[in-house]
Chains A and B, each alone.
Chain A
Amino acid sequence: MSFIPGQPVTAVVQRIEIRKLRQGEHLILGFSIGGGIDQDPGQNPFSEDKSDKGIYVTRVTPGGPAEVAGLMMGDKVMQVNGWDMTMVTHDQARKRLTKKNEDVVRLLVTRKSLEQAVRHSMM
């Protein structure tokens, strides 16, 4: 999932729709993210390319809305509700996921297994 700056990025993505869970006044999704253009990409254990500054899912709480929707640990988040997540700071990413007036977030995520599946099906 590396990219060349200035060139279009193509990825096989899966759509994941997460309905936020309401806990009192708070809306939670049930996963943790890491990464961002302001973070050190070398410390990302999930990325193939250690210069990838994208947003990755580092943890999915079991039984939470994200797990139910099919999100997996290690997924790279490409878009959230139409907003791009490949070139955002960590805090921007967090904010886009935790908007109070949105009950549902629709993510586009990519993972290695998707690419492999597509490759195999094409063979």
Chain B
Amino acid sequence: MFCRNQTTRATVARCSALEMEIRRGRFRRSVFLETLQDSDIQKKIDHEIRMRDGACKLLAACTQRDQALEASKSLLTCNTRIMAYMSELQRMKEAQVMQRVARRSSEAGPTDDRRPCKGKVAISDLRIPLMWKDTEYFKNKGELHRCAVFCLLQMGGEIHDTDMVMVDRTLTDICFDNTIVFNEASPGFDLRVELYSCSSEEDYSAGSTPRKLASKLSSSLGRSAGKKLRAAVDPGAGSPTGGGATLLLPVPAVAGPKYHLLAHTSLSLAHVQDNFRTHDLITSGNEECTYWVPLYGSVCCRLAAQPDCMNQQMMSGCLKVKLGGDPQSSTNVYGVLKGTNLSCYHRQEDIESNVEPAFTIAINKETRIRASEKDPDSNVQSISISNLYGGEEVTHTVSADSRQETHRWMEAFWQHFYDMSQWKQCCDDLMKIDLPSPRKAALVTSKQGSLYHEMVIDTAGDIGTVTDILTRRMQELELRSQLGTSPPWMSLFAESPGRQRSPRLAGHSPRTPRRLPRSPLSPSRCPRPSLLSSDASLTSDSDSPCSTSPCSRHGGLAEPLSLPSSRFRPRTLSLDAKLSTLRGRGYGGALQCSCQPPTSSLTPIPAQRVSQATLSCSSSTSSNSSSEGRRSPESLDSSPFSRPSSARRSLRSMRAKLDPRNWLQSQV
């Protein structure tokens, strides 16, 4: 019944109508039979349709605004993908039909069109600056008008979206942290970047489409509809444009937040650079729209491209290489053409074992390659490669074992040169593409993570409450030491170690008695005067009563501090918290400068005393630095790899930073 013909890829039932039509020469089989590519795209379409159904359902079901925005974003992405796949399918069908038509008219000769190699294109660090009006900044009444934005990046059939970012007037730039890599890019790529936004205060429930209808629409475009669509798009004999062009999938209208296109731009090969560049955005919409966000008008990003010819082996094989015209010095090597080099290894196994190549011949835009005449001895054509090394022309003569090999090498060189001419600046050097690490860095806080927002002071003006809050906070979070924020009085110590901090203490909390410094601490804690490369880090606020607990970041303190309710605790607790965190590090460790806070009720001065004691050893180094003529308290950088400061600010460091007499240095 079925006729299995070797030339066809699928079977056609004998004596069927289709078979008769084929016999009559009306149709070619390939038109009707599903090609491998078609089924791929069809699978993708089905997948996206399923995703879209899911997004619609989620949108209908969710109650939270954030969820609704995310679902709407997925919906938009799915829709765009479906459109892209459909149009690609359409194009492919058309191409097939055109091919068939061309073949029929039998005009085509062997098309010798060389195709450039594909490559990877990565876009990362997208940043869109905003330009808020000054009235917005100073408008304090009312809540923040927020918009949800995200970027859609489209290249050919590949569509990716970035994460969603909430934008309000406290943001100066919209930053998208995602790195998006497109794998099958050709040099003539067109990367379309679209910015969508949606106001996050709309009333979503006012949907125009009743729910039932919406669900009906979304479900009706399921798998069966997709199949029907494919069959319909399949063009008949005489109509290349087919019915597919008129058949566009209607986007199901669902209630929920709708994103609008705010701006777009197109990037291409000319914009690729191994660096950050700014491009112009074409904005649509104006201030009246609800989804408006005041854009400055440009987008900054890093667009890198890695053509395959730069990071893949384009050709490899055994070669005989002669330097210059000397027939004696021919070497047998295994050559690998990759990037801008022809690397010649002694043996093929050397590549896997990461041995350096015996020598490397540059193959770049300035290289000239010619086929030379046949060698009379071996009757094999050879290839001569000429480069200019610093003004001198160096020629290598390369020959393969057989004619076909030589021809393949020449072909490879031609292709390589063509690739380099197409990819232009991407072939000068291999651009790095950083793939985002799968592990996301733990998000530290919500947006309003500053200390001020968290402090709720019930009894106004009570310093005790404030310090209690600070204590609690420091207990919760692992406060890293504030680097580079030595309080200004540190310089006082640098110059005269014995000076008291009294001028600073005056006028602050009325509860700071000026008692004589007790010395439960000092004897047992003799700081060794071996401060090497590090200086004391002074992390406490200058004006707080017992603020100064400088510590040196080596080694550990004895125990983590327990927390009595003394109001002066927080200052020294921070010291301990820092030191206990540092204990684990194990760097340096040369200095055991212990500044353990006293166990019972603290007075301000003992801490100060301790600081004096420790500072006396550090003053030597700080006086060294100050001897250079600048009063610049060095920040803490004891161990080679000390920590960067945290994002949190504390009151004390703020004050220290704001003092203009310091020339702050921060370790990063």
Chain B residues positioned under 8 Å from A48 (CB to CB): none
Q: Which residue of A lies closest to B274 (CB)?
A: A15
Question: Which of B275, B630, B635 makes the CB contact (< 8 A) with A106?
Answer: B275
Contact with A along B634-653 (1 / 0, CB 8 A): 01010011111101000000
Question: Using a CB-CB cutoff of 8 Å, which residues 8-60 of chain A contact chain B?
Answer: 15, 17, 21, 23-36, 38-40, 43-45, 58-59
Question: Using a CB-CB cutoff of 8 Å, which residues 248-286 of chain B contact chain A?
Answer: 274-276
State whether B441 touches A28 (Cβ < 8 A): no
Tally A residues with Cβ within 8 Å of B: 46
State whether A45 touches B630 (Cβ < 8 A): yes
Task: Give B495 Cβ to nearest chain A Cβ, in Å.
Answer: 15
Q: A116 an interface residue at 8 Å Cβ cutoff?
A: no
State whether B641 touches A28 (Cβ < 8 A): yes
State whether A34 touches B276 (Cβ < 8 A): no
Given known contacts A82-B276, A101-B440, A106-B275, is B641 in contact with A30 (CB within 8 Å)? Answer: yes
State whether A98 touches B644 (Cβ < 8 A): yes
Q: B663 an interface residue at 8 Å Cβ cutoff?
A: yes
How far apart are the CA atoms of A102 and B506 in the complex, in Å? 44
Q: A109 an interface residue at 8 Å Cβ cutoff?
A: no
Q: B327 an interface residue at 8 Å Cβ cutoff?
A: no
State whether A26 touches B647 (Cβ < 8 A): no
Given known contacts A82-B125, A103-B434, is B666 in contact with A90 (CB within 8 Å)? Answer: yes
Q: B554 an interface residue at 8 Å Cβ cutoff?
A: no
State whether B640 touches A36 (Cβ < 8 A): no
Question: Which of A23, A32, A104 makes the CB contact (< 8 A) with B668?
Answer: A32
How far apart are the CA atoms of A43 and B444 in the complex, in Å? 35
How far apart are the CA atoms of A2 and B514 in the complex, in Å? 49
State whether A63 touches B663 (Cβ < 8 A): no
Q: Pick from B480, B663, B667, B668 the residue with the most CB of A within 10 Å.
A: B668
Contact with B along A64-100 (1 / 0, CB 8 A): 1000000000000001011100000011011101101
State whether B276 touches A33 (Cβ < 8 A): no
Question: Using a CB-CB cutoff of 8 Å, which residues 427-443 of chain B contact chain A?
Answer: 432, 434, 437, 440-442
Chain A residues positioned under 8 Å from B660 (CB to CB): 38-40
Q: B329 an interface residue at 8 Å Cβ cutoff?
A: no
Q: Which residue of A lies closest to B302 (CB)?
A: A82
Q: A62 an interface residue at 8 Å Cβ cutoff?
A: yes
Q: B661 an interface residue at 8 Å Cβ cutoff?
A: yes
Q: B665 an interface residue at 8 Å Cβ cutoff?
A: yes
State whether A58 touches B437 (Cβ < 8 A): no
State whether A97 touches B668 (Cβ < 8 A): yes
Q: Which residue of A lies closest to B585 (CB)?
A: A23
Q: Which residue of B lies closest to A63 (CB)?
A: B640
State whether A32 touches B644 (Cβ < 8 A): no
Chain A residues positioned under 8 Å from B661 (CB to CB): 40
For the complex with contacts A28-B668, A31-B668, 6 further pairs of A-B residues with Cβ separation under 8 Å are A36-B664, A38-B660, A39-B660, A59-B637, A59-B667, A81-B276
How far apart are the CA atoms of A106 and B433 in the complex, in Å? 12
Q: B52 an interface residue at 8 Å Cβ cutoff?
A: no
State whether B641 touches A23 (Cβ < 8 A): yes
State whether A33 touches B666 (Cβ < 8 A): yes
State whether B632 touches A81 (Cβ < 8 A): no
How far apart are the CA atoms of A15 and B637 in the complex, in Å? 25
Q: B21 an interface residue at 8 Å Cβ cutoff?
A: no
Question: Which of A25, A30, A40, A91 makes the CB contact (< 8 A) with B663?
Answer: A40
Chain A residues positioned under 8 Å from B127 (CB to CB): 82-83
Question: Which of B641, B657, B664 makes the CB contact (< 8 A) with A21?
Answer: B641
Interface majority SS (helix, strand, loop, mixed), chain B: loop
Q: Which residue of A lies closest to B173 (CB)?
A: A83
State whether A34 touches B300 (Cβ < 8 A): no
Question: What are 30 residue pairs bridging A and B, where the CB atoms are less than 8 Å apart in the complex?
Answer: A17-B432, A23-B585, A23-B643, A24-B584, A26-B643, A26-B644, A28-B643, A29-B644, A30-B640, A31-B667, A32-B484, A32-B665, A32-B667, A34-B632, A35-B663, A38-B660, A40-B663, A43-B630, A43-B663, A45-B628, A82-B125, A82-B276, A82-B300, A98-B668, A100-B441, A100-B444, A101-B441, A102-B177, A104-B434, A106-B276
Q: B631 an interface residue at 8 Å Cβ cutoff?
A: yes
Q: Which residue of B lies closest to A36 (CB)?
A: B664
Task: Give A3 Cβ to nearest chain B Cβ, in Å.
Answer: 20
Task: Give B206 Cβ to nearest chain A Cβ, in Å.
Answer: 37
State whether A34 touches B668 (Cβ < 8 A): no
State whether A90 touches B664 (Cβ < 8 A): yes
Given known contacts A17-B432, A90-B657, is B442 in contact with A25 (CB within 8 Å)? Answer: yes
State whether A61 touches B640 (Cβ < 8 A): yes
Task: Give B441 Cβ to nearest chain A Cβ, in Å.
Answer: 5
Task: Give A118 Cβ to nearest chain B Cβ, in Å.
Answer: 18
Chain B residues positioned under 8 Å from A33 (CB to CB): 665-666, 668
State whether B657 touches A91 (Cβ < 8 A): yes
State whether A64 touches B640 (Cβ < 8 A): yes
Task: Give B278 Cβ to nearest chain A Cβ, in Å.
Answer: 8
Contact with A along B411-452 (1 / 0, CB 8 A): 000000000000000000000101001001110100000000
Question: Which of A26, A34, A45 makes the CB contact (< 8 A) with B664?
Answer: A34
Given known contacts A81-B125, A98-B645, A101-B177, is B666 in contact with A61 (CB within 8 Å)? Answer: no
State whether B644 touches A27 (Cβ < 8 A): yes
How far apart are the CA atoms of A40 and B302 in the complex, in Å? 33
How far apart are the CA atoms of A106 and B141 in the complex, in Å? 40
Task: Give B330 Cβ to nearest chain A Cβ, in Å.
Answer: 38
How far apart are the CA atoms of A104 and B668 in the complex, in Å? 13
> Lowest 4 CB-CB distances: which A-B pairs, in order?
A82-B276, A43-B663, A43-B630, A34-B665
Chain B residues positioned under 8 Å from A94 (CB to CB): 484, 644-645, 666, 668
Question: Which of A15, A28, A101 makes the CB contact (< 8 A) with B644?
Answer: A28
Q: Which residue of B lies closest to A100 (CB)?
A: B441
Chain A residues positioned under 8 Å from B437 (CB to CB): 103
How far apart are the CA atoms of A36 and B665 in the complex, in Å? 10
Chain A residues positioned under 8 Å from B635 (CB to CB): 32
State whether A15 touches B585 (Cβ < 8 A): no
Task: Give A80 Cβ to nearest chain B Cβ, in Å.
Answer: 10
How far apart are the CA atoms of A82 and B441 in the complex, in Å? 21
How far apart are the CA atoms of A122 and B194 in the complex, in Å? 44
Chain B residues positioned under 8 Å from A43 (CB to CB): 630-632, 663
Q: Which residue of B lies closest to A66 (CB)?
A: B668
How far apart are the CA atoms of A43 and B633 in the complex, in Å? 11
How far apart are the CA atoms of A21 and B585 in the complex, in Å? 14
